[in-house]
A and B are shown apart, each in its own frame.
Chain A
Amino acid sequence: MERILRMLAAGLFVLLAAGAASALDIRSAVIRVDYPQLAPISRFDLKPEDMGFAGAMLAVEDNATTGQFLGHTFANETVAVPPEEAEAALDRLAAEGIRIFVILANAEDTLRLADRAGPDALVINAGSPAESLREDQCRANLLHVAPSQAMLADAVAQFSVWKGWKRWFLVHGSNPADQDVAEAYRQAARKFGLTVAEEREFEDTGGSRRSDSGHVLVQQRLPVFMQEAEEHDVVVAADASDVFAPYLPFHLWSPRPVMGSAGLRPVSFHASHEAWGATQFQTRFEKLTGRYVREEDYQAWLALRVVGETVTRAASDDIATLRAYALGDAFELAAFKGQKVTFRPWNGQLRQPILLFDGRITVSVSPQDGFLHQTSPLDTMGRDQPETACTAFD
Chain B
Amino acid sequence: MIRLLTTTACAVLALSGPAFANKVFVSNEKGNTISVIDTADWSVLTEFHGGNRPRGITISPDGKLLYVCASDDDLVRVFDTETYEELYTLPSGPDPELFVLHPSGNPLYIANEDDNLVTVVDTETHTVLAEVPVGVEPEGMAVSPRADFVVNTSETTNMAHFISTADYDIKHNVLVDQRPRYATYTSDGTRLYVSSEIGGTVSVIDIAEDGTPTMNQKLTFEVPGVLPEWLQPVGVKVTQDGSRVFVALGPANRVAVIDGESLEVLDYIIVGQRVWQMAFTPDEKYLITTNGNSNDVTVIDVAAEKPLQSIQVGQMPWGVAVTPN
Contacts and interface: CB of A to CB of B under 8 A. Distances in A.
Contacts of B227: 372, 377
A17 B172 contact: yes
Interface residues of A, number: 29
A36 B114 CA distance: 38
Contacts of A6: 132-133, 168-169
B159 A69 contact: yes
Contacts of A280: 95, 113-114, 137, 155
A312 B175 contact: yes
Given A334-B156, A377-B229, A10 B179 contact: no
Given A69-B159, A277-B137, A334 B178 contact: yes
Contacts, number: 80
A312 B229 CA distance: 23
B175 A65 contact: no
A339 B159 CA distance: 18
A284 interface: yes
Interface string A87-121: 00000000000000000000000000000000000
A38 B185 CA distance: 60
B170 A13 contact: yes
A contacts with B: majority SS = helix
A250 B114 CA distance: 40
Interface residues of B, number: 33
B contacts with A: majority SS = loop
A70 B174 CA distance: 10
A340 B116 CA distance: 22
B114 A339 contact: no
A354 B197 CA distance: 20
A339 B229 contact: yes
A65 B137 CA distance: 10
Given A3-B133, A7-B133, A377-B227, A69 B173 contact: yes
Nearest to B174: A69
Contacts of A332: 177-178, 198-199
B171 interface: yes
A284 B114 contact: yes
Contact of A283 (B95, B131, B155, B169): B95
A307 to B, nearest CB: 14
B158 interface: yes
B179 A66 contact: no
A280 B114 CA distance: 6
A14 interface: yes
A69 B95 CA distance: 24
Interface in A12-36: 13-14, 17
A197 interface: no
Ranked 6 nearest A-B pairs via Cβ:
A66-B157, A334-B198, A334-B178, A334-B179, A69-B173, A7-B133
Interface of A: 3, 6-7, 9-10, 13-14, 17, 62, 65-66, 69-70, 277, 279-280, 283-284, 287, 312-313, 332-334, 339-340, 372, 376-377
27 contacts: A7-B133, A9-B169, A10-B133, A10-B169, A13-B171, A17-B171, A62-B156, A65-B157, A66-B135, A66-B156, A66-B157, A69-B173, A70-B173, A277-B179, A279-B95, A280-B114, A280-B137, A280-B155, A283-B114, A312-B175, A313-B175, A332-B198, A334-B156, A334-B179, A334-B199, A339-B229, A340-B198
